[in-house]
Structure 1
Amino acid sequence: MSKSTVAHITNNPDEPVTFFKQITEAAKKQSTEDVIFMNLATIDEEFGVLNRTVVYRGLSDDNCIIYVTQRFTRNFKNIQANAKCGITFFLPNVVVPLQGQDPAIWQVRLIGATAEELPESQLDEWWNKELLSAQIRDHIFPCGQPVNYVELVEKHDRFLHDHLESKVPLQRPATYTAFKFRAQRWDFLKVGSGQIADRVQYRRLENGDWQSMHVST
């Protein structure tokens, strides 16, 4: 027999970042992969809205979402031209302890997220957290350009061999950069099987505080 219930978000904290941490930390603990993905949408002069799914890197010191990229990419140029972006996290089958013991689909959106490029003084911190594969890509892979796969693999293998032989850490290329996103609103959606979703939205007030409320889906 079909059923219908309404999901309920309870015990949500006063600050949206605290809630975000509760959900993402629960998702990491319940996954075999210690990684969270996010979808980033930008405005492109040629194609309109462009979105891509990228690795979530972490939070800045002032609790903003961090996004790492290269200065020659289309997404960097998009953000330079229009700093307003859309960010979505989709986290299925997550049990958030303060929200009950049943797994649920969680969606977290940053609405009206404005990108701010990090200063050079902060970039090494993020570069040093990168996986070796990501560091090699940033050095030798021409993002978005047509390539010959065999030649690309050979180039990668030579670079990797030389790097391992040198035993010297890879230095951050001048093109490497990162943005942090300051949101006007955080939107949290929770839904389980046979349920109507519940949403809690945090809206930033003029004084900088957050006001939270349930909103309909």
Structure 2
Amino acid sequence: MTSKLAKIKNFPTNPVEFFKQLLQAATEGKPAGYLPEMNLATVDEEFGVLNRTVLYRGLTKDNFLYYITHSYTRNCKNLKANPNKAGITFYWTNVKDKQGRESNWQVRLIGATAVELPESELDAMWAKEDLAAKIRGHICPCGQPIDHDELKAKHDQFLQEHLASGKPIPRPDTYTAFKFEPQRWDFLNVAINEIADRVQYRLQANGQWESMHVST
């Protein structure tokens, strides 16, 4: 048996640049259009903390992660009720570094504030949605009990009418998105028979990031 202490080396001064580097490495070799997953945790009035695995959609122009949802969903209601209590986690396995060494990475946004994006940014996002997502936005009552056969009939009718019309599916009023402004970014790296190392970026009062190694 053996043991060693992992060490994260040569990380950039800005956490978003570090995130971009790791994301590129973690998604290398994936098919075109692949979207990695992230876990989003929110505070819920009924159940306490709720988390769900959702698709990572990208970064806003000001370099914040964003998440697309609908106003009728529980996660949207949670983010509006508790905008300062959200967390995001990525977990990537067997990520290769430039030397070909494989290790696992966990990336967390801690103490993130959810900020709803303006209407002016939503049309461009809606245009990129696939057909299934657009139909879902019109026919699926998220979290409500359904009769599957009735929902399927509704779906098939909607699809048939859409194809016959030749017109784009309009963006529903419920469609929205949030960006997340974190207080900390936390990067954890570990391989087999290692004690993990973490690099944490902490937002300072002057708007700058202070980075440091922290124990796991």
TM-score range, shorter chain: over 0.9
Distance 2:100 2:188 in 1: 17
- The answer for the alignment partner of 2:183 in structure 1 is 184
Report matched runs for 1:163-202 at 5 Å.
163-202=162-201
TM-score by length of 2: 0.95
- The answer to whether the 8 Å contact 1:37/1:54 transfers is yes
Q: Distance in 2 between matches of 1:148 and 1:29?
A: 41
**Which amino acid is the alignment partner of residue 94 of structure 1?**
V
What secondary structure, in the 3-state scheme, does the structure 1 residue paired with 2:27 have?
helix
Structure 2 counterpart of 1:111: 110
- In 2, the alpha carbon distance for the partners of 1:5 and 1:161 equals 60
How many angstroms apart in 2 are the aligned matches of 1:47 and 1:142?
20
Aligned residue in 2 for 1:93: 94
**Which whole-Å CA distance do the structure 2 matches of 1:193 and 1:123 have between them?**
43
**Structure 1 residue ranges, 4+ long, deviating more than 2 angstroms after superposition:** 30-33
Letter in 2 for 1:25: Q
Distance of 2:149 and 2:94 partners within structure 1: 39
Matched, 1:73 2:73: yes
Q: May I ask how many residue pairs the two structures share in their alignment?
A: 214
Secondary structure of 1:146 counterpart: coil
1:67-119 Cα deviation digits (max 9, x unpaired) = 1110111111111111120110111111143xx42111111000110000001
Residue 151 (structure 1) shift: 1.6
**Within-5 A mapping of 1:8-157:** 8-32=7-31, 34-83=34-83, 84-97=85-98, 100-157=99-156
AA matched with 1:56: Y
Q: Which runs of 5+ in 2 are unaligned?
A: none
Residue 116 of structure 1 aligns with an amino acid whose one-letter code is V
Following TM superposition, by how much is the alpha carbon of 1:30 offset from its aligned partner in structure 2, in angstroms? 3.2
TM-score, normalised to structure 1's length? Answer: 0.95
